[in-house]
Amino acid sequence: MALQPNAVVLLSGGLDSTTTATIARQQGFLLHALTFRYGQRHEIEVAAARRVAAALGIANHVVLDIDLRQFGGSALTSDVEVPKGRSLDDMSHGIPVTYVPARNTIFLSFALAWAEVLGANDIFLGVNALDYSGYPDCRPEYIAAFQAMANLATKAGVEDRRQLTIHTPLIQLTKAEIIRRGLELGVDYSLTTSCYDPDPATGRPCGSCDSCLLRAKGFRELGLVDPVAIYASRGLK
């Protein structure tokens, strides 16, 4: 039997990263999941990432603490209000306050370090350039530039001539297409969380931040009900 190649997958516990991890596993990679506790307003994302890692049978899951609150600058890490009830048209104009400065660059840098230690040539990231809420570090040109930099950055790249690939299997999919692909692969979306501002006590999504609205639109377009609504109503986290 051929040795399974290692891959690092960035796992936030959201719909996109969970689908991405499932795709990577289906492609035959042995997954090493990396989650960040980066001064989010809540622990709900980390709990979801743990549930998803367990469901996918990922034995190696690292949760790293990085305190981005020391820099401030985002609604997700400081006291700025998360915007609610925006139209899709609003979302398509400009970069929202929920943008976290250089977040994907920081996350990918740690993934790069871990990949080198593991001897992995593959990193999976669930970014999405269509329904993407305007983040600069979710665009294909950004990912290509990161990959080019990464291949100059490491001993693996320079001395061993190993080429690193940043896989972004969702980058050109709509939210509905992502959900359809995930359901084909058996993803249990009730384990995931996407909300920027969930109820801290129950984990219930707010239903009106950009992330909730895009997720709801995805399920609606497929004629489906988001299981998270049902899940949250059970009071589980």
Q: In the complex, which residues of this chain contact its own copies (CB under 8 A)?
A: 62, 64-68, 70-73, 94-95, 99-106, 108-110, 112-114, 116-117, 136-137, 139, 141-142, 145-146, 148-150, 152-155, 157-159
Q: Which is nearer to its own copies, 116 or 131 (CB)?
A: 116
- 78/194 Cα distance (integer angstroms): 18
Q: Which is nearer to its own copies, 119 or 235 (CB)?
A: 119
> Cβ 177 to its own copies, closest distance in Å?
25
Task: Please tell me the total number of residues recorded for the chain in this structure.
Answer: 237
> Cβ 77 to its own copies, closest distance in Å?
10
Q: Which is nearer to its own copies, 61 or 204 (CB)?
A: 61
> Cβ 25 to its own copies, closest distance in Å?
21
- 23/175 Cα distance (integer angstroms): 15
- H/E stretch holding 63: strand 60-65
> Cβ 38 to its own copies, closest distance in Å?
10
> Which residue type occupies 70?
Q
Q: Which is nearer to its own copies, 40 or 190 (CB)?
A: 40
| CB of 209 closer than 8 Å to CB of 82 | yes
| CB of 212 closer than 8 Å to CB of 169 | no
Letter string b/e over residues 155-168, b meaning 16 or more CB atoms within 10 A of that residue's CB: ebbeeeebebebbb
| CB of 33 closer than 8 Å to CB of 53 | yes
Using alpha carbons, select from 110, 39, 26 the residue that is nearest to residue 75. Answer: 39
> Cβ 110 to its own copies, closest distance in Å?
6
Q: Which is nearer to its own copies, 5 or 101 (CB)?
A: 101
> Cβ 107 to its own copies, closest distance in Å?
9
- 130/136 Cα distance (integer angstroms): 12
Q: Which is nearer to its own copies, 137 or 226 (CB)?
A: 137
